[in-house]
Amino acid sequence: MLPFIRYDRGNTDIETAAPLLLILSLAPFAGSLAAIFLPSDKGTAAAWFSGAVALLCQLLVAGLYPLVASGGVLRYDLQWLPELGLNITLRMDGFAWMFASIITAIGLLVVVYARYYMSASDPVPRFFSMFLAFMGAMLGIVLSGNIIQLAVFWELTSITSFLLIGYWHHNAQARDGARMALTITGTGGLCMFVGLILMGHIVGSYDLDAVLSSGNVIREHPLYTTVLILILLGALTKSAQFPFHFWLPHAMAAPTPVSAYLHSATLVKAGVFLLIRLWPVLAGTDAWFWIVGCAGLTTLLLGAYFAIFQQDLKGLLAYSTISHLGLITVLLSLGSPLAAVAAIFHTMNHATFKASLFMAAGIIDHETGTRDMRKLSGLFRYMPFTATLAMVASAAMAGVPLLNGFLSKEMFFAEAIETHRYNILDTITPYVATLASMFAVTYSLRFIYSVFFGPPPKDLPKIPHEPPHWMRAPIEFLVLACLVVGVIPAFTIGPFLHAAVQSVLGDSTPVYSLAVWHGWNLPLAMSLVALIGGVVLFLLMKSYLATSIEGPPFFRRLEGQRIFERVLVTLSWKWARWLERTASSRRLQPQMRILVFIAFVAGTLPLLLQGFKPSAMALRSVDPAFALLWIIGIICAVGAAYQAKFHRLAALVLLGGAGLVTCITFVWLSAPDLAVTQLLVEIVTTVLILLGLRWLPKRIEDPNDPELMNFPVRLRRLRDLALALACGVGMMLVSYTMMTRNIPDTISSYFLERAYSEGGGTNVVNVILVDFRGFDTLGEIAVLCIVALTVFSLLRRFRPATESLEKPEQQKIQNAFDDDHPDRKKGDSIAEYLLIPSVIMRWMFPVIGMLTAFLFFRGHDLPGGGFAAGIAMSIAFILQYMAGGTRWVEERLRIHPLRWMSIGLLVAMATGLGSWLFGYPFLTSHMQYANLPLIGKIPLATAILFDLGVFSLVLGATVLILIALAHQSVRAPRAQVKAARMAGKETP
């Protein structure tokens, strides 16, 4: 199947570049797979390798910029299930490009950083492998051109981030944090998946381009609110928005490179990405405004407030991230194009300064051994470079002018002032924005002051010093970007931002200016208020914060984690236990009753609701012989049911009787193939159960058993009988009604017409099995193979019950007879027993072998075939066992059922694969008739090879099952000796 490539425009550059998207999205996964195989002490090699992969991706992305800069869209389609509208589509526009470059560029920097951060004692290649897998998943999200595909990559980021957060899995905090992140983002992701499916259902296509162009349809659809809430659940959980924000601080147990990458630049931005991506489709309604706005504003304010009171460096950064994500969410809630521009811009800016701050925090932790701000102080004198870099980055976080954070924050203020809607939420936005900015200034100042200034630190675990130069290099680069963008935005970030904005907003792209200076206006005043207010607030709180315990006052007790754990315990423990106690039973019988009852109701209800009327019973054209046959059959069935408890052998014989009646029915009603197979299987099943009977406990009927008189027992039996009769009558009515109706035209006529011309056989059933539906048969013989292996392995560990170990009654009598007669040796009677039948059985072997060959070769044209031949041949083997005993047979015949099974499966597979060599789909058969001397014309279809595989496998599986059971009687004496020895040890 060749990939089908669709080109979006006539542009030849875009046409040739589109396949690069495939390389871009596969490279990280390939790298991940390769990295996992590196030995765990080759950390540096893994780092170099991952760096090379990240660099390759980064170069690819950079090289694609000219194609998307002017509004071009790269598209690469790979057809997967076009009938269901499921294709693999890679799509890159300006916005996806922006995200892809953030992912690859910061990914590259983090790899460089992690090379120095990770300790050699950790399994570093595993880290890089998971890191690359995460990067691939993130790229997959942003490059998805199909919303189902997007959801798949979305879940993949949840899983890989779980692995990355829990990287230090010996640490309980890391495990808990990873589990919490996975539970919350995973649940959100599943909701989003449902939402996306609904959205695809509304649009009629899962293609992103189709979705993006049908905004009005979606917004006016009655399911809009449902879709919106479900998708928002995904986006808001991923972006750690209130009330789902609490997983992010707990994810700080991850190694710092992970936090720098996942929790600043990528993973948490996936939610923002989705909000922006679907902004043209979903935004602009009241529901959107209220849900997104409330979540965003609360997160903005609470995140900033909580950040002030953190004592852990990474905790502070985590809450600050939450707050900044809230800011972006608020911007998106407003529904104005200018606000969307600001949101996109802030997404980029936040990624740069927050990643560098996380790396700086990691350096401090790495070089001092602690992240507790109460212990850290005065580090400026030990690491002036790192300190300066961190100061610039946190100034950007606080929104100080001439840095990139300032620009997007000004845009945010300008939008907050604008009135978009006349309601309370819109009115309070500017005040909340200013207050949150003030808090941002306070926590940024606190970060810098408490770590780098003040008296020299006391009792740190390590003496601090500057990190290796290359560990600092990524921070230097990012801080430089903050500065350059902050000073000359229009020349640096301008074109990229424009490409991104244009691809999201299209024709409604607003006019915006990226200047640093907009004159004296209200947003500037708000910035000044925030700056001054933040500094004052910090000075007021400085002494309190220096010694305070972790967490904000008033809210300390309101921990999201506790609520989460309580919910988890309630759901997965208390309720589950309650449900198990009340609604389930460990006993099989009630379970069976419930199952059958539900099946009965599920079968009856739809029939009754659809007005099912059974056909009138009429005794027309009943053949008396057939009726007699079934009278016998019914007697056998009822008898088997009646005798199965106390007279097992009788029940088995009666079961065989019912089987034979079934078999004759098949012959009577034009199904010779079924009859042959049924007859053979009947024989094998009977032998099998006979072999098993010996190991069951004796059960002797006691007519005075008090249990029988018991009233509840009788009631229970009556209920069972009623249910059984109901099922029986139901089946009878349904089958009678069905069989007396005219047969509609089905695909059967197709098979009947083509069996000879295309399958090359006249036995249509066999042609269906080995040719038309060969793939099904392959699956079925695989099942048979698995069952045989299971039986084999179960019996290897089988220990017969001790009371069944004795020799059977009959053998005892025979041996006693031999002992009593001096002219006889012990065992003579057994050898002489059934002497004539056993000679006949021995001589039957070649005869049955011939019959097998006959059944097999005629199978394609006349009743027979691989299934029947395989079972017939296995009967030949089992007869030898019965005639000669296990040891006798195995001394004389080489029996390797496992080998036969594997050969069978391989031959069947190889026949199927063979058709690929000739360019046909799997299991296409070829046939022609060959004229052999003496034998005549025989069909030579490749299907006969396939049938040979079926034969070999069925033979192997049947023989394996039977022999495994027969061997128990060889093993039993050994077990008996052992048991006797054990008992002997115990008695003295």
Partner 1 sequence: MELVLSIGIGVLTASGVWLLFRPRTYQVIIGLSLLSYAVNLFIFGMGRLRVNAPPVLEPGGTGGLLTHTDPIPQALVLTAIVIGFAMTSLFLVVLLASRGFTGTDHVDGRE
The residue with tokens 């951060």 is 117
Indicate whether 791 belongs to the interface with partner 1 (CB under 8 A): yes
Q: Is 651 in the site for partner 1 (CB under 8 A)?
A: yes
Determine which residue in the list 540, 731, 980, 982 makes contact with partner 1, applying CB under 8 A. 731
Stretch that binds partner 1, among 172-180, 459-467, 890-898, 955-963 (CB under 8 A): 955-963
Instruction: State the number of binding residues for partner 1 (CB under 8 A).
Output: 117
Choose between 529 and 927: whose C-beta lies nearer to partner 1: 927
Q: Give min distance, CB of 734 to partner 1, in A.
A: 8
Under 8 Å CB-to-CB from 968, ≥6 apart: which residues? Answer: 691, 695, 795, 798, 800
Cβ count within 10 A of residue 515: 12
Tokens linked to 442:
């306070």
Smallest gap, in angstroms, from Cβ of residue 802 to partner 1? 8
| Residue 887: CB minimum distance to partner 1, A | 22
Candidates 145-153, 478-486, 632-640, 887-895: pick the segment binding partner 1 (CB under 8 A). 632-640
User: Residues in the chain, how many?
Assistant: 988
CA distance 847 to 246: 77
Q: What is the DSSP letter of 704?
A: T
> Under the criterion CB under 8 A, does residue 466 sit at the interface with partner 1?
no
Nearer to partner 1, 488 or 688 (CB): 688
Spatial separation of the C-alpha atoms in residues 499 and 93, rounded to whole Å: 8
C-alpha span between 416 and 326 (Å, rounded): 13
Q: Using CB atoms within 10 A of its CB, is residue 735 exposed (0-12), middle (13-18) or buried (19+)? A: exposed
Query: Which residues ranging from 736 to 775 are in contact with partner 1 (CB under 8 A)?
Result: 736, 738-740, 743, 745-749, 751-757, 762-765, 768-769, 773
CA pair distance 268, 235, nearest whole angstrom: 9
- The answer to whether 957 contacts partner 1 (rule: CB under 8 A) is yes
Choose among 44, 56, 161, 43: nearest CA to 104: 56
Kindly state the smallest distance separating residue 846's Cβ from partner 1, in Å. Answer: 25
Question: 602 or 836: whose CB is closer to partner 1?
Answer: 602
Which letter, b or e, does each residue of 543-569 get, where b requires 16 or more Cβ atoms within 10 Å of its Cβ?
A: eebeeeeebbeeeeeeebeeebeeeee
Mask: binding to partner 1, 602-631, rule CB under 8 A, as x and -? Answer: ---------------xxx-xxx--xx--x-
Which three-class secondary structure state does DSSP give residue 928? strand
Question: What is the H or E stretch that residue 75 is in?
Answer: strand 74-81
Q: Are 288 and 370 in contact (CB under 8 A)?
A: no
Residue 932 CB, shortest distance to partner 1, in Å, is 17
Q: Binding segment for partner 1 among 61-69, 227-235, 294-302, 659-667 (CB under 8 A)?
A: 659-667
Q: HSE of 961 in the Cβ direction (CA atoms, 13 Å)?
A: 22
Site for partner 1 in 154-213 (CB under 8 A): none
Assess 596 for contact with partner 1 (CB under 8 A): yes
Residue 924 phi, psi dihedral angles, 5° rounding: -75, 135
Least Å distance, CB 720 to partner 1, is 4
Q: Which two tokens stand for residue 450?
A: 């408490």
Residue 34 CB, shortest distance to partner 1, in Å, is: 41
Which of 455/697 has CB closer to partner 1?
Answer: 697
Count Cβ atoms below 10 Å from residue 690 Cβ, excluding itself.
Answer: 14
Q: Which residues between 670 and 699 bind partner 1 (CB under 8 A)?
A: 670-674, 677-678, 681, 684-685, 688-689, 692, 695-697, 699
CB 258 within 8 A of CB 264: no
The nearer residue to partner 1, 555 or 750, going by C-beta atoms, is 750
d(CA 11, CA 1): 26
Query: Binding partner 1 by CB under 8 A: which of 794, 840, 850, 853?
Result: 794
Per-residue contact string for residues 74-93; x = within reach of partner 1 by CB under 8 A: --------------------
- Which residue number, 529 or 795, has a Cβ lying nearer to partner 1? 795
Can you read off the two tokens belonging to residue 304? 């900033």
Phi and psi angles of residue 66, each rounded to the nearest 5 degrees, phi first? -55, -25
Q: 698 or 985: whose CB is closer to partner 1?
A: 698
How many other C-beta atoms are found inside a 10 Å radius of the C-beta of residue 774?
26
The answer to whether residues 958 and 868 touch, using CB atoms and an 8 Å cutoff, is no
CB nearer to partner 1: pick between 469 and 799: 799
> Taking CB under 8 A as the criterion, which residues in 935-954 touch partner 1?
954
Under DSSP, is residue 960 helix (H, G, I), strand (E, B) or coil?
A: helix
SS3 694: coil
Residue 731: CB minimum distance to partner 1, A:
4
Show the tokens assigned to 492: 């640096």
What is the residue whose two structure tokens read 């945010």?
412
The structure tokens 């990873």 sit at: 178
Residues 856-915 within binding reach of partner 1 (CB under 8 A): 861-863, 867, 871
Kindly indicate which of the ranges 99-107, 261-269, 361-369, 731-739 contains the residues binding partner 1, using the contact rule CB under 8 A: 731-739
Binds partner 1 by CB under 8 A, chosen from 801, 917, 932, 935:
801
Residue 113 burial (CB count, 10 A): 29
Could you tell me the smallest distance in angstroms from the CB atom of residue 690 to partner 1? Answer: 11
Residue 569 found at the interface with partner 1 (CB under 8 A): no
- SS3 assignment, position 511: coil
CA of 111: how far to CAs of 26, 258, 405, 725, 756, in Å? 18, 10, 25, 70, 64
CB of 812 to partner 1, least distance (A): 22
Answer yes or no whether residue 925 interacts with partner 1 by CB under 8 A.
Answer: no
Paired sense of beta strands 927-932 and 936-941, if any: antiparallel
Q: By CB under 8 A, what part of segment 481-540 binds partner 1?
A: none
Q: Closer to partner 1 by CB, 605 or 787: give it.
A: 787
CB of 589 to partner 1, least distance (A): 6
Q: Nearest approach, Cβ of 10 to partner 1 (angstroms)?
A: 50
- Which residues, including other chains, have CB under 8 Å from residue 677's CB and lie 6 or more apart? 867, 868, 871
Single residue of 332, 788, 869, 889 touching partner 1 by CB under 8 A: 788
Verify binding: residue 724, partner 1, rule CB under 8 A: yes
Nearer to partner 1, 670 or 931 (CB): 670
- 752 CB-side CA count, 13 A: 5
Using rule CB under 8 A, residue 668 touches partner 1: yes
Asked if 713 touches partner 1 (CB under 8 A), the answer is no
Interface with partner 1, residue 783, by CB under 8 A: yes
The region of 87-95, 273-281, 717-725, 834-842 touching partner 1 under the rule CB under 8 A is 717-725
The tokens for 633 are 């059959």
Q: Is 729 in the site for partner 1 (CB under 8 A)?
A: yes
Count the neighbouring beta carbons within 10 Å of the beta carbon of residue 827.
12
Instruction: Locate 123 and state its tokens.
Output: 């399994």
Q: Counting contacts by CB under 8 A, is residue 146 touching partner 1?
A: no
Q: How far apart are the C-alpha atoms of 943 and 761, rounded to whole Å?
A: 10
Q: Is 577 in the site for partner 1 (CB under 8 A)?
A: no
Q: Which of 169, 465, 645, 714 binds partner 1 (CB under 8 A)?
A: 645
Per-residue x/- mask for partner 1, residues 808 to 847, rule CB under 8 A? ----------------------------------------
Question: Is 939 strand, coil or helix?
Answer: strand
Q: The tokens of 15 are what?
A: 């046409």
Beta carbon nearer to partner 1, 307 or 640: 640
Q: Give 181 or 963: the residue with its C-beta nearer to partner 1.
A: 963
Q: How far is the CB of 303 from partner 1 (least distance, A)?
A: 55
Q: Which residue stretch of 325-333, 732-740, 815-823, 976-984 sits at the interface with partner 1 (rule: CB under 8 A)?
A: 732-740
- 856: amino acid identity, one letter: F
How far apart are the C-alpha atoms of 547 and 280, rounded to whole Å? 48
